[in-house]
Amino acid sequence: MAQTVSGYWDAQARRYDRATLLLCRDFDAMAAAIAARVADCERVLEVAAGTGLVTRAAAPGVQRYLATDASEAMLEILKGRLGDLPGLQVGVADAMALDGPDDQFDAVLACNLLHLLPDPVGCLKELRRVLAPGGRLLTPTFCHGEGTVARVVSGILGLSGFPIHTRFSGEELDELVTSAGFTITEARWFQGLLPIRYVEAR
């Protein structure tokens, strides 16, 4: 039987931090940039929070921070890392079908998720649904199609079973975000073997 996507990430949970930091040498700088952008927000949602590499930077000081992921194993690591943080809630969730009403959050984070989804536009529209008017979307994404090195590294990851759906270039990622009805307010790069395109939009 084919392994489910959540099953893949459950199996990778203990190796996730090391692999992510290896692939993007600027990851901590990216997380710090995100933290600065949500510091004035009262209600923040993070989908695909994983083990909390971004959460640990962004959640402190936010009044209500909801960190979600499809992988329970990933979230167990996150809770072990940050479970006592005031204002933090952690739960399993499907980024394509979120619980709750519209207009809930001042900022929504979807870090390194869109390239893994068969329907990234559908996900962005769901994130837009729960984002309050004027709120911020932050969706930094590994761009597996940005340059020769990234394409080679991505190909090797694909052979290992990595569940990628889209090898974005930076331009393609920007176009995806705008196609879902957002206006990009900032876009820049954080470098590594797989560069991350940081996109902020409203």
> 130-172, pLDDT tens digit by residue?
999 999 999 999 999 999 999 999 999 999 899 999 999 999 9
Helices vs strands, H then E, count in the chain: 8, 8
> What is the amino acid identity at position 28?
D
Structure confidence at residue 61 (pLDDT) = 84
pLDDT of residue 6: 76
Nearest Cα to Cα of residue 100 among 43, 37, 34, 178: 43
User: 103-131 as b/e, with b when 16 or more CB fall inside 10 Å?
Assistant: ebbbbbbbbbbbbbbeebeebbebbbebb
Question: How much is the pLDDT for 3?
Answer: 46
Q: What's the pLDDT tens digit per position in 55-98?
A: 999 999 899 999 999 999 999 999 999 989 999 999 999 999 99
Q: How far apart are CA 202 and CA 187, in angstroms?
A: 12
Tell me the mean pLDDT in the region 41-58.
97
What pLDDT score was predicted for residue 2? 38
Predicted TM-score (pTM) of the model is 0.95
Q: Provide the pLDDT for residue 4.
A: 60
When the pLDDT of each residue in the chain is averaged and rounded to a whole number, the result is 95
CATH match for 5-201 among 3.10.180.10, 3.40.50.150, 1.50.10.20, 3.30.590.10: 3.40.50.150
Contact status, residue 153 vs residue 182, Cβ threshold 8 Å: no
